[in-house]
Amino acid sequence: MTKKPSLIYQIKITLDRTRPPIWRRVLVPNKITLLKLHDIIQISMGWEDAHLHAFNIGGESYGNPVDDEYGLFGTIDEKRVKLNEVIPGEKSRFSYEYDFGDGWEHTLLVEKIFEPEEGVHYPVCIKGKRACPPEDIGGVWGYEVFLDAISNPDHPEHEEYLEWHGDEFDPEAFDIDQVNRSLAAMGRGASADNYNSEIWTPEVYGEFPIVFIDEEKQFTKDQIEALESLPLRRDMLTLLTYIKNNKVVGTQATGNFPLKAVREITGQFVNPPVLEEQIGAHTYKVRSEIDVQPLYFLHLIAVGQGLIDITPGRRWEIKPEGEAFFGMTASSQVFHMLLTWWTRLNWTIEFPFSGFAYGLPPGFMDKTLELLLKQPVMEDLDYESFARRLIQETGLTWPIEDQSSANQILLGAVENIVMHVMERFGVVTLENRTDKIEGFEFETLHTFKVTSHGRRLLEIILDLPSKRLSWFV
C-alpha cells in the first residue's frame, strides 16, 4: 500500500500585542510533532531558543514535561503529539508562548490546508514582516521602551541600550532567505536534538575510562609536537579555562552557552570562527551556540568525556576529570577527546538532516576505523574512492528515489562526519580542488593523507580491551 503523503498547513504566526505586527507565514507538513513546530517557530521568528516554551491548544498545555517540575500545568509531551492530531482543520487557532518571564505570546492561525507541491522542500517560510525583538528585553512593553531609546539620542537610556545590545537594530528588517536556509538545514531541530541527546551518557555506558598512555614509548618527538600544536586541543583548554574563570550560566532551554560567552570563548580560539558575515546589504549573525559548530563540537566532547557538568539555567562547573585534563600530556588529551567522539557521540550531529533520522548503520564506526587503518601513512589518497567503499561496505543509504543525487549526498555526508572531524583531530590532512560548472567555481574534497600521529591514535583505539569496544554502535 502506498503511504499517503502529508498535507501541508499554511500557518500565520503573529507575535501578539506588537504594533505594527511582527509575523511570519510558514508552510509545514501536518504530521510533524509539536516539538518540531516549536523549532520551526523559533527559526522563522528569529528567537534563540534560550528559554522555556509551551503550546496552549484547546485548554491543554503541550511542551516538555521536564519543565513542568511539579506537574502544576499537566503538560503533555510535545514530542509525542503530531500537529494534525490536535489541529484538525482550516481556520483553527492556537497559541504558543516563549520565555515565561518576558511572556512572548504568539497566535497561530491555520489559513489553508493543501496537497504538497512536487519539488518544494518543507517547512518553508513564504512571507513575514519585521524583525524579531531581542531576547531578554522585557516583553512587548520592554521592546517598546527599547525602540524608543535607541531611536532617540536624547533618551536617558539611549547609550545604555546601545551598549547592552551591542549592534545596530532595524525593527523593519526581515531576511526570508536566511530563515529558509536555516529551515532547510534544521534536520530534526535543536530541541529534538536536546530530547534525543547526541551523547551516550554514563548512566547507559558507564563512567568514561582514563586510558594510560606512555607518551615517550608510543609517540615520536615529531608526533608529540604535532599533537601539542593541534588547534582542537588548544581550543579545549581555552574552553575549560573560560568556564573555570568565569560564571557561565547555561541557557534556560538547552543549557548551552549564552551569546556573550560564545563571542568571548571563540575569540580566543586558534582559528576564531566567523560570527557575523556581510553579504550584500544583509548582515548574518549567529543566533545561538549551536550555530557555531567549532564551539558546539567541543561542548559535546567535554560533556561526553565527563569534563564539565551543565544544567539548563544553572552555572557550568568543571568536574574533577576536567581539572585532571589540564595535567595530562598532549597525546593523552587528544586521545581521550578522540575516544569520546568514537564511543560517546552521535556522529550525525555533523550532518543533521532527516535522511539520518534513524542514525547510521550498525558497525559504521568500526568499519570507518578499519578502513582508515588500512590506508598508508602520508600518501595522497583519493577521497571519493575511500568514501564509496565505506558507503558500500556499511550499507549507508539516503531515502530518495534519485540514486544519482543520493550518492552525491552520501559523499558529502562522509566528508562531514568522517573526514572533516578526523582533520580536527589531526588524524588526516585534506586537499581540495577547484571545479567549475557553468562558469561557477567551487571547492571539492579531492585527496587526503593519514598522518603518522593520527595512525597511532587509531591504533591505540583498536587495541583497547573488548569491553571498551562494546560501546561502538
Tens digit of each residue's pLDDT (9 = 90 or more) over 17-51: 999 999 999 999 998 999 999 999 999 999 988 78
Residues 121, 184: contact at Cβ < 8 Å? yes
Q: Can you tell me the distance from the alpha carbon of 110 to that of 72, in angstroms, rounded to the nearest whole number?
A: 29
Question: Model pTM greater than 0.85?
Answer: no
- Is the pLDDT assigned to residue 472 strictly greater than 50? no
Average pLDDT, integer, range 377-381: 96
Residues 294, 273: contact at Cβ < 8 Å? yes
Same domain for 371 and 302: no
pLDDT band at residue 258 using 50, 70 and 90 as cut-offs: confident
Q: Which of 184, 215, 230 is the last residue of a domain?
A: 184
Q: Can you tell me the distance from the alpha carbon of 122 to that of 438, in angstroms, rounded to the nearest whole number?
A: 28
- Is the pLDDT assigned to residue 262 strictly greater than 50? yes
Same domain for 368 and 333: no
Average pLDDT, integer, range 4-10: 79
Domain membership of residue 165 (yes or no) is: no
Average pLDDT, integer, range 381-387: 97
Give the model's pLDDT for residue 196. 43
pLDDT band at residue 124 using 50, 70 and 90 as cut-offs: very high
Average pLDDT, integer, range 77-91: 89
Give the model's pLDDT for residue 403. 85
Domain membership of residue 254 (yes or no) is: yes
- Is the pLDDT assigned to residue 321 strictly greater than 80? yes
pLDDT band at residue 273 using 50, 70 and 90 as cut-offs: very high
Q: Can you tell me the distance from the alpha carbon of 190 to that of 461, in angstroms, rounded to the nearest whole number?
A: 31
Same domain for 254 and 120: no
Give the model's pLDDT for residue 205. 42
Same domain for 392 and 271: no
Q: Can you tell me the distance from the alpha carbon of 128 to that of 12, in angstroms, rounded to the nearest whole number?
A: 9
Domain count, the chain: 3
Same domain for 206 and 340: yes
Mean pLDDT of the chain: 85
pLDDT band at residue 280 using 50, 70 and 90 as cut-offs: low
Q: Which of 283, 314, 345 is the last residue of a domain?
A: 345
Give the model's pLDDT for residue 466. 43
- Is the pLDDT assigned to residue 275 strictly greater than 90? no
Same domain for 369 and 260: no
Tens-place pLDDT, residues 426-457? 999 999 988 776 667 778 899 999 999 999 99
Give the model's pLDDT for residue 176. 92
Same domain for 321 and 207: yes
pLDDT band at residue 295 using 50, 70 and 90 as cut-offs: very high
Average pLDDT, integer, range 404-423: 94
Which CATH number characterizes residue 404's domain?
1.10.10
- Is the pLDDT assigned to residue 259 strictly greater than 80? yes
Q: Can you tell me the distance from the alpha carbon of 67 to that of 313, in angstroms, rounded to the nearest whole number?
A: 11
- Is the pLDDT assigned to residue 204 strictly greater than 60? no
Same domain for 340 and 228: yes
Closest alpha carbon to 350 in 425, 289, 266, 293: 293
DSSP annotation of 356 reads: G
Average pLDDT, integer, range 152-158: 85
Give the model's pLDDT for residue 354. 63
User: What SS3 state is found at 418?
Assistant: helix
Q: Can you tell me the distance from the alpha carbon of 86 to that of 95, in angstroms, rounded to the nearest whole number?
A: 12
Between 64 and 243, name the one with better pLDDT.
243
Q: Which of 325, 345, 365 is the last residue of a domain?
A: 345
Find the domain containing 359 and state its range: 354-456+466-473
Give the model's pLDDT for residue 468. 40
Among 73-87, 217-231, 346-360, 458-472, the least confident range: 458-472
- Is the pLDDT assigned to residue 470 strictly greater than 50? no
Same domain for 218 and 114: no
Same domain for 340 and 417: no
Same domain for 419 and 359: yes
Closest alpha carbon to 245 in 321, 303, 316, 301: 316
Same domain for 277 and 410: no
Average pLDDT, integer, range 76-94: 90
Which CATH number characterizes residue 57's domain?
3.10.290.30
pLDDT band at residue 79 using 50, 70 and 90 as cut-offs: confident
Domain membership of residue 461 (yes or no) is: no
Domain membership of residue 414 (yes or no) is: yes
Residues 308, 242: contact at Cβ < 8 Å? no
pLDDT band at residue 55 using 50, 70 and 90 as cut-offs: very high
Domain membership of residue 405 (yes or no) is: yes
Domain membership of residue 112 (yes or no) is: yes
Domain membership of residue 169 (yes or no) is: no
Domain membership of residue 154 (yes or no) is: no
Q: Where are the beta strands (DSSP E) in 300-367?
A: 308-309, 317-318
Q: Can you tell me the distance from the alpha carbon of 212 to that of 226, in angstroms, rounded to the nearest whole number?
A: 20
DSSP β-bridge partners for residue 10: 27, 112
Between 285 and 412, name the one with better pLDDT.
412
Between 14 and 78, name the one with better pLDDT.
14
